[in-house]
Structure 1
Amino acid sequence: MQILWNRNQWAMGLTKMIRSSIMVLVVALFCAWTTECSYAASDEASHTVRPAAVAGRFYPNGTEDLRKTVRTLLRDASGVDVKETIRGLVSPHAGYIYSGIVAAAGYRQISPSIRTVILIGPSHQFPLKGPSIDLVSAYQTPLGDVSLSQLAFKLCKLPIFESAPEAHKTEHSLEVQLPFLQVMLKDFEIVPILVNSGDPRALASVLAPYIDNSALVVASTDLSHYYSYERAVSLDRICISAMTNAEFSCMPLCEACGKQAVMTLMHIAEFKNWDAKLIDYKNSGDTAGGKDNVVGYASIAFVDRKERSQTMKSSLSDQDKKALLRLARSAIEARLLDGVKVERPEPSPILNEDRGCFVTLHKTGRLRGCIGTIEPVCPLVECVEKNAQNAAFKDPRFLGLTADELSEIDIELSVLSVPERLNYKNGEDLKRQLRPHVHGVIMSRGIYSSTFLPQVWEQLPDKEQFLENLCVKGGMPATAWKDPATNILVYQAEVFGEKDFK
């Protein structure tokens, strides 16, 4: 976001005395608009309404035009559907023509039972010593007034907060969230907080006790600013990975104007045991601008972490296993032999479940290709068909499979459980929690990641050797596994192959 106000644009030719006088005036003004929050909070009877500052620029100024725009965005938004109740959202704050469709992807899924929304966003134009709460009676948009919660006045009596009315007066990062909330919720109040310095963990620890099932926390931010399309996507991928995997050590690499707000939400998620899920990502090159200088936008949901079973949810029947193996082989043969069609099994509930899977090819006992999908992003039958062809023809370690090799190939399938985050204090704690021959492991650190299937324990039964090799495979230092900042997820696999049915 470009800064709209610059205190350093002094007129040329002013004398030293005049410059000094002006600086004194600026300091006086700064002190005037920054007040102790506890003092401001004493006047809870204030009926000041903050008027809309960016209506007509960031979103339509007319009531019906705005309502229609928001409803159209909510209708047309796509992205991942979140089944759990959304407790927190990372949401963009650019003009609706640019980021509205991404914001809508998250807001269309919030619970109608929400009564309090804690809005945390960056102060783009004014420096702040700490988090600032705007102590007005309400925020106004063309859709009406949104009242401040009494929680705002209660929080503002705490020493961590200040009140800087001038910072809130023209700031758009919180205001642009309101029309979406006004359309989605019938009766709610807000706690408007601006940040651009301070300790996000300390702020999170103050807010967390007040967050119950009727509350929603929104962290307002855009991502990288004014890079080429390809560069922006690369940078934003780092940022999104850090946000969704709770990788606080990688947040310094994240380019986001609302980084402090997002880190506050990430720490709240840590305290409340929430998981993060990416709903949608786009940049202005995808929505309403050119691709030379783009701005990135993401919608990320935070939801209650589910305690998952320690074993696979269900077991495939022998009939299902044979059908999947035949699907995998026919998918490969269809690419190599004339007249061969892919033999897709009859639909069934278990084969149509969204599951991750890997397809492994061996030739005379040696690896000949292995590619898969860890996350459950598509039905199992689609996963097997796609990855069978990928393992045969797109594994970068091998040349594409030929028709002459078909008779020498054995196919093995690994059907995966949903990965679970593994929290650990140090390397010894991690080793204690790992279960050889049971756990597949996903390791990630910043832009680097790698995985070993449970079968790899057969070649690397020692836990330290297993983890060191996994680090090296992903381009990380061999000792990265000892650092709790390295993200570890584990999963299980149901493994079967053609040899099992001969």
Structure 2
Amino acid sequence: MGAVRAPAVAGQFYPADPVLLADQVDALLAGAANPRQDAANPRHVPGNPRHAPAYVVPHAGYVYSGPTAAVAYAGLPRDTRRVVLVGPAHFAPLRGCAVASAEAWRTPLGEVPVEDAAALVDAGLVTVDDDAHAREHSLEVQLPFLQRVLAGSFGVLPIAVGSAAAGEVAAVISAALAPGSVLLCSTDLAHYEPDERARVQDAATLRAVVGLRSADVGVRDACGVFALRGLLAWAGTQGRTPTVLHYATSADTAGDASRVVGYAAVAL
């Protein structure tokens, strides 16, 4: 992919115009900071835990999952200088965890430097696989939020997670998290179910998340299941307590209740 990874989903999942993109992200963040307690924002939890070392965030188009993602980003420490991103590889077969060779990732808002992953590669914890990252949106869509939230320069370590045991992913997370880093685990929840059914399924998934029961998160419960299981395994070793900050389905934002996707923001 060369030294800089070009955006793969600008103009699809979020605006390609930098002004429109900045305005959209800022509006989402403002809405998260001042939530309306009505049907348009029915599952916001007031008093978000701030400065958590890890979060679960969704990764759909901003018009769908942006309000939920913004709730997590509203609690992110503004002085964060290093962000580890873990999420699924939707378009390339992958076993284990993979980083990309690019030295920076670009969005319409500018370039974000990629942290050196040589130590992880040398330890055999991750491989270098550009195909796993080239078309992937789950990590890319987090960058504009970070670019608008964080007050200074920062770096990211994007890690695509394929089929892997929870302990294997937890080991990668532990090795990747230097002091002061924040971890973002990117996943959506139920996919393309009727709204009522999706909410029941997602409620069970979130109970498993809050209980740190990684084995109870099924492959149909979250597209980022392997990253999420790894996060929960890591959190268990760290004594973290998950708190669900916000939950919604695409019916809350896009209006179609016949075939929805579920979204959650969780602080750990």
Q: Percent identity?
A: 37
Residue 30 of structure 2 corresponds to 75
Residue 149 of structure 2 corresponds to 184
Contact (CA 8 Å) 2:13, 2:62: kept in 1 or not? yes
Per-residue displacement from partner, 1:369-393 (whole Å, max 9, x unpaired)?
xxxxxxxxxxxxxxxxxxxxxxxxx
Contact (CA 8 Å) 2:25, 2:145: kept in 1 or not? yes
Residue 259 of structure 1 corresponds to 225
Residue 171 of structure 1 corresponds to 136
Per-residue displacement from partner, 1:297-348 (whole Å, max 9, x unpaired)?
000011xxxxxxxxxxxxxxxxxxxxxxxxxxxxxxxxxxxxxxxxxxxxxx
- For residue 210 of structure 1, report the CA deviation from its aligned partner: 4.5
- Is the counterpart of residue 57 in structure 1 residue 23 in structure 2? no
For the residue of structure 2 that corresponds to 1:119, the secondary structure is strand
- For residue 180 of structure 1, report the CA deviation from its aligned partner: 0.5
Residues 180 and 293 of structure 1: CA distance in aligned 2, closer, same or farther (over 3 Å): same
- Is the counterpart of residue 232 in structure 1 residue 187 in structure 2? no
State the AA in 1 paired with 2:127: E
Per-residue displacement from partner, 1:178-200 (whole Å, max 9, x unpaired)?
10111111221111111121223
Distance 1:277 1:180 in 2: 21
Deviates more, 1:207-216 or 1:218-227: 207-216
For the residue of structure 1 that corresponds to 2:241, the secondary structure is strand
For the residue of structure 2 that corresponds to 1:274, the secondary structure is coil
Residue 67 of structure 2 corresponds to 101
Contact (CA 8 Å) 1:89, 1:217: kept in 2 or not? yes
Residue 153 of structure 1 corresponds to 118
Distance 1:271 1:200 in 2: 12
Distance 2:176 2:201 in 1: 34
- Is the counterpart of residue 142 in structure 1 residue 97 in structure 2? no
Distance 1:172 1:282 in 2: 20
- For residue 218 of structure 1, report the CA deviation from its aligned partner: 0.7
Residue 118 of structure 1 corresponds to 84
- For residue 211 of structure 1, report the CA deviation from its aligned partner: 2.4
State the AA in 1 paired with 2:122: K
Distance 1:157 1:198 in 2: 19
- Is the counterpart of residue 200 in structure 1 residue 166 in structure 2? yes
Normalising by structure 1, we get a TM-score of 0.49
Residue 41 of structure 2 corresponds to none
Residues 271 and 190 of structure 1: CA distance in aligned 2, closer, same or farther (over 3 Å): same
State the AA in 2 paired with 1:140: R
Distance 1:239 1:177 in 2: 22
Per-residue displacement from partner, 1:196-251 (whole Å, max 9, x unpaired)?
21223122124314524411111111111111110010000011111111122322
State the AA in 1 paired with 2:7: A
State the AA in 2 paired with 1:287: T
Residues 156 and 189 of structure 1: CA distance in aligned 2, closer, same or farther (over 3 Å): same
Contact (CA 8 Å) 2:84, 2:176: kept in 1 or not? no
Residues 164 and 95 of structure 1: CA distance in aligned 2, closer, same or farther (over 3 Å): same
- Is the counterpart of residue 300 in structure 1 residue 255 in structure 2? no
For the residue of structure 2 that corresponds to 1:132, the secondary structure is strand
Q: Structure 2: which 5+ runs fail to align?
A: 36-43
Report 1 or 2 for greater relative contact order, CA contacts < 8 Å, sequence distance ≥ 6. 2
Per-residue displacement from partner, 1:63-110 (whole Å, max 9, x unpaired)?
111011000000112322224421111100000000000000100110
For the residue of structure 2 that corresponds to 1:101, the secondary structure is helix
Q: Structure 1: which 5+ runs fail to align?
A: 1-45, 303-502
Residue 96 of structure 2 corresponds to 130
Contact (CA 8 Å) 2:106, 2:112: kept in 1 or not? yes
Distance 2:55 2:267 in 1: 5
User: What is the root-mean-square deviation in Å for CA atoms of aligned residues?
Assistant: 1.6
Per-residue displacement from partner, 1:134-184 (whole Å, max 9, x unpaired)?
12110100010010112x222122223122212211110000011011111
Contact (CA 8 Å) 1:239, 1:253: kept in 2 or not? no
Contact (CA 8 Å) 1:149, 1:190: kept in 2 or not? yes
Residues 210 and 258 of structure 1: CA distance in aligned 2, closer, same or farther (over 3 Å): closer
Distance 2:110 2:264 in 1: 27
Contact (CA 8 Å) 2:49, 2:267: kept in 1 or not? no
Per-residue displacement from partner, 1:30-59 (whole Å, max 9, x unpaired)?
xxxxxxxxxxxxxxxx96100001000000
Distance 1:241 1:262 in 2: 13
